[in-house]
Chains A and B, each alone.
Chain A
């Protein structure tokens, strides 16, 4: 494990400035209710505008509609969008991981069918991993795909499927051959499923504050054509693990409370709160600076062709806990009874952080699972 310090080149700083200018024009501060990180609103019009600038699927090859940009370039765009609280929800999953999976493992036909549409900001994807009886023990998934003429018949249930009621497709981890004793990682495959397929039933699982993100998706004899199988049959676990390396360690794992913190400074400036805020902000800017440098070095490693899975797990575990720590510090320091309906934007955002951030250390792999992944990797080090 080694995090090599890196910094943005002149060209990369130029991109950062372009994104800042774009946001200043499209979403000037005060004109929109900032979103808290990747759980952002879906705003297809906004996604299309980003795509026009080549900022959706930007690391994908030009051949498939992308911009041949680097993981670091994508880091810069994502970082600026999230810290601004921009509504990136529509293209989020496709941009972060699905595009990569299809590029890496998909057929030529799948690349042609999906990648240009992803890069145009048109397609929204969901992730079909968890099931009612398979959460952290993901390899135990039991939703079954059985062969039929020209494709597969799928039966089973996926759960916690964010955005299934609004998105177009989802990438499912399915069992394509029965579980063998002692090797539960075999027999799994990744298959693209059209969320409008007959027999697919999508029902909401209301989030604790009543909002609708999660769904339960039930497959009742759903037909999926052969051409939707991603990569090799039975290699789903390996592909899924690779996908996770893209999912972990990025700005979405440490920037979620930033808009709240920035808004506190905006509202406290010139009031008696300013001094209290100064006491807190020293630590906040130092930690954000430090974690950002680690996260940026992971992106740079990806660009050199590495798959930094230990490093990205360490950053995600640290970053998501830090997000919760920030909220706790705000709650501790600012003596207000905040409400989701408050006139103060800071108070509304803080209320939302308090209620939704327990999920940050759960989604995309609990921190307990991340610790297990990372500590196995640490063992190989000299001591």
Chain B
């Protein structure tokens, strides 16, 4: 596992070692069959990793956003079946930035916002009504952090999932993406800190997926190099055939491109405004996932289409994550408008300068 700039090598090593031990092929397969992986979560929580980037005085583990993105990259690399992004850089971020207590267990969020929800406020309580779909791991969460705009003010409610009706659903990788029904649920709520708003949340969610996807594409690319060098046909490893080499190269390029994009976006987000970089990183991850899954599956032949061989843990996650927190059209449109607004003279300065020329 090569080091990542700006991140303590110890974090990379420790997380990689942990997931290597607890997230082997069978463990991931089993989590999908059962619909949860409490033992994997428990081992992960033991290290404090879920709460990296949340300040210690807020009940977090300290560390930077870069550190937590590195852990997410490894979650993707090992297909770890846990709500890592939701508990830390998304849900934990919402709770910590509105003065809520960080619970000991997993936290989840509403990835697609609260447009389906009606909310009213009364003192330090909000009442929520409506149904939200594709809520990650709601079934095992201790709190749902709900960011909702009431009377022009952004509030975060810390909802107890036991007060909701939760219908188990999954994404294409079998990861829990539950339907949560809020039937006039009342929960403690507080205004969020400046900058913690639905737009910032959307970008942050996209950044979390870009990191997960970069890890998954890298793993897929490595599996493919390894498999095609072992698999012998016509008397030689299939990796020696030029037609197969093209798939290896394309997979490796997309792994490099997605990781570069996610890390660069993370670096900018850790400093301040990173709208351009995050939008570009998610769009790149989406398209890289589409190309790399195709190339890696093709190079694996029929073996890649089985449950027995692990490629599907990564490819199915990538197909799912591609659509979470913004698909190609959403980020393509955002970036296209940004580009056109710069005009012809400003087009290249946007590519080299990114968010710094937009602000």
Contact = CB atoms under 8 A, between A and B. Distances in A.
Interface of A: 1-5, 7, 16, 29, 79, 83, 258, 261-263, 265-266, 269, 274, 277-294, 297, 311, 314, 317-318, 368, 370-372, 374-375, 378-379, 381-383
B248 A286 contact: no
Contacts of A286: 261, 279-280, 283-284, 331-332, 335
B343 A269 contact: yes
Given A3-B256, A5-B267, A262-B348, A282 B334 contact: yes
12 contacts: A5-B5, A7-B267, A263-B344, A265-B340, A281-B336, A283-B283, A285-B347, A289-B280, A293-B261, A294-B256, A311-B256, A371-B248
Contact of B351 (A3, A279, A292): A292
A30 B354 CA distance: 25
Contacts of B344: 29, 262-263, 265-266, 269
Contacts of B248: 371, 374-375, 378
A282 B339 contact: yes
B6 to A, nearest CB: 9
A5 B214 CA distance: 14
Interface stretch (B67-75, B97-105, B200-208, B239-247): B239-247
A279 B332 contact: yes
A269 B345 CA distance: 12
A265 B347 contact: yes
B257 interface: yes
A285 B351 contact: yes
A29 B343 CA distance: 13
Q: How large is the interface on B (under 10, 10 to 19, 20 to 34, 35 or more residues)?
A: 35 or more
Nearest to B330: A282
A292 B335 contact: no
Contact of A278 (B276, B287, B337): B337
B339 A278 contact: yes
A277 B239 CA distance: 40
Contact of A283 (B263, B332, B347): B332
Given A314-B256, A371-B242, A4 B283 contact: no
For the complex of A and B, list the 4 residue pairs with the smallest distance between their C-beta atoms, beginning with the closest.
A383-B226, A282-B336, A282-B335, A282-B332
Interface string B315-359: 000000000000010011111111110011101101110100000
B164 interface: no
Nearest to A379: B229
B259 interface: yes
Nearest to A79: B352
B336 A379 contact: no
B45 interface: no
A4 B3 CA distance: 9
B112 interface: no
B279 A290 contact: no
B71 to A, nearest CB: 18
B252 interface: yes
The CB with the most chain B CB atoms within 10 A, among A7, A277, A287, is that of A287
Given A5-B5, A269-B343, A378-B252, A290 B245 contact: no
B106 to A, nearest CB: 31
Given A1-B252, A265-B343, A374-B252, A282 B331 contact: yes
Contacts, number: 152
B260 A29 contact: no
B263 A5 contact: yes
B5 A4 contact: yes
Interface of B: 2, 5, 222-223, 225-226, 229, 239, 242, 245-246, 248-249, 252-253, 256-257, 259-261, 263-264, 267, 276-277, 279-281, 283-284, 287, 328, 331-340, 343-345, 347-348, 350-352, 354
B280 A294 contact: no
A297 B260 contact: yes
A297 B263 CA distance: 13
Nearest to A278: B336
A7 B226 CA distance: 32
A298 to B, nearest CB: 11
A379 B239 contact: yes
Nearest to A266: B344
A274 B332 contact: no
Nearest to A368: B242
A274 B340 contact: yes
A7 B242 CA distance: 35
B63 to A, nearest CB: 19
Contacts of B276: 289
Contacts of A288: 351
Given A3-B256, A4-B5, A314-B249, A284 B339 contact: yes
B231 to A, nearest CB: 13
A281 B335 contact: yes
B270 to A, nearest CB: 12
Contacts of A317: 249, 253
Contacts of B336: 277-283, 285
B5 A375 contact: no
Nearest to A310: B252
Nearest to B6: A5
Contacts of B347: 261-262, 265, 281, 285
A5 B264 contact: yes
Contacts of A5: 5, 260, 263-264, 267
A318 B352 contact: no
B222 A294 contact: no
Given A371-B249, A383-B222, A278 B333 contact: yes
A218 to B, nearest CB: 33
Contact of A83 (B229, B340, B348): B348
Contact of A16 (B249, B283, B338, B352): B352
B350 A285 contact: yes
